[in-house]
């Protein structure tokens, strides 16, 4: 924590991918079509299993409800999303009176996570509920968190091979849309802030740092000198 705090103190602001959508942000301007009764009942059971009040997600797009429930699965492996990297850093910087810039808008994330087409949205809900009902996401979250904690870039880079979430070409395309396809705009956003004369600490998810389209390579291509910093005891085992 101390090296991170020292680094933050040297920058003039924080740039981060917008934190996970809260209920207020996730409510649709135009209400999506209702789910079939059986699917709505399955969703209600998962909300109860997450120890949430029945009306906790009232007015929130069902696809975003499933995304939120997937994030909350981290609690089963001892990780509380309330203390996730981006919201925690953003709260710290705001408390210190430093600016926080979002690299993506609510609308951009909403378009990624909640398909506009009713059939596609329903398929997303069904697939997400199936994963939640089988507890498939918990081991994936735990392994991902361990890889992040240990700076294990090889495991992070091979996520698609072990996550159990890539079954066909459609899954692979969705993964690209959720990760690699966003990276050029994120890199452009970081570069634009620096071009304005701002020194920013940019916080992004670990998977955005891997692969040929990872942010380190994209930023290097934009003229930045990118150096990996390994903290503490992990430095001895870093590759």
- Tokens 């509920």: give the residue: 129
The pair of structure tokens assigned to 143 is 């392994």
Mean pLDDT to the nearest integer, 149-167:
93
The span from the CA of 156 to the CA of 142, in Å, is 12
Q: Please give the angle made by the CA atoms of 27, 31 and 35, to the nearest 5 degrees.
A: 105
Tell me how far apart the alpha carbons of residues 239 and 236 are, in angstroms, rounded to a whole number.
9
- Tell me whether residue 112 is in a domain: yes
> 41-45 — which CB contacts under 8 Å span 24+ positions?
42/129, 42/133, 43/125, 43/129
In percent, how much of the chain has pLDDT > 90? 63
7 in a structural domain: yes
238, part of any domain:
no
Rounded average pLDDT over 106-133 = 92
Q: Is residue 71 part of a domain?
A: yes
For 2-58, the pLDDT digits (tens) are 466 676 667 667 888 864 444 455 455 456 778 999 999 999 999 999 999 999 999
- The pLDDT tens digits of the residues spanning 58-104 come to 989 999 999 999 999 999 999 999 888 888 888 888 898 888 999 99
Say if 236 falls within a structural domain: no
**What is the reported pTM?**
0.85
Is residue 23, in this structure, part of any structural domain at all?
yes
In terms of residue numbers, what domain contains 182? 2-231
Query: Is 141 within the bounds of a domain?
Result: yes
**Residue 25: its pLDDT value, please?**
52
Is residue 238 within 8 Å of residue 151, measured between CB atoms?
Answer: yes
Between the two ends of the chain, the Cα-to-Cα distance in Å is 22
Tell me whether residue 239 is in a domain. Answer: no
How many structural domains compose the chain? 1
Q: Give the C-alpha separation, 1 to 88, whole Å.
A: 12
């Amino acid at each position: 924590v101390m090296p991170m705090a020292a680094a933050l103190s040297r920058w003039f602001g924080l740039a981060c991918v917008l934190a996970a959508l809260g209920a207020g942000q996730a409510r649709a301007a135009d209400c999506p079509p209702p789910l079939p009764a059986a699917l709505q009942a399955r969703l209600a059971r998962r909300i109860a299993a997450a120890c949430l009040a029945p009306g906790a997600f009232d007015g929130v797009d069902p696809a975003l409800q499933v995304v939120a429930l997937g994030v909350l699965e981290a609690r089963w492996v001892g990780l509380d999303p309330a203390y996730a990297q981006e919201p925690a850093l953003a709260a710290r910087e705001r408390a210190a009176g430093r600016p926080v810039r979002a690299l993506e808008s609510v609308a951009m994330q909403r378009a990624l996570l909640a398909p506009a087409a009713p059939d596609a949205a329903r398929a997303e809900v069904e697939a997400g509920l199936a994963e939640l009902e089988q507890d498939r996401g918990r081991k994936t979250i735990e392994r991902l968190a361990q890889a992040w904690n240990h700076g294990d870039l090889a495991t992070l880079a091979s996520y698609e091979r072990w996550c159990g979430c890539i079954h066909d070409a459609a899954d692979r395309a969705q993964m690209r849309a959720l990760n690699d396809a966003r990276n050029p705009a994120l890199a452009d956003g970081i570069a634009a802030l620096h071009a304005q004369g701002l020194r920013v600490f940019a916080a992004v998810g670990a998977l955005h740092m891997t692969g040929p389209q990872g942010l380190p390579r994209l930023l290097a291509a934009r003229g930045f000198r990118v150096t990996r910093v390994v903290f503490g005891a992990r430095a001895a085992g870093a590759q």
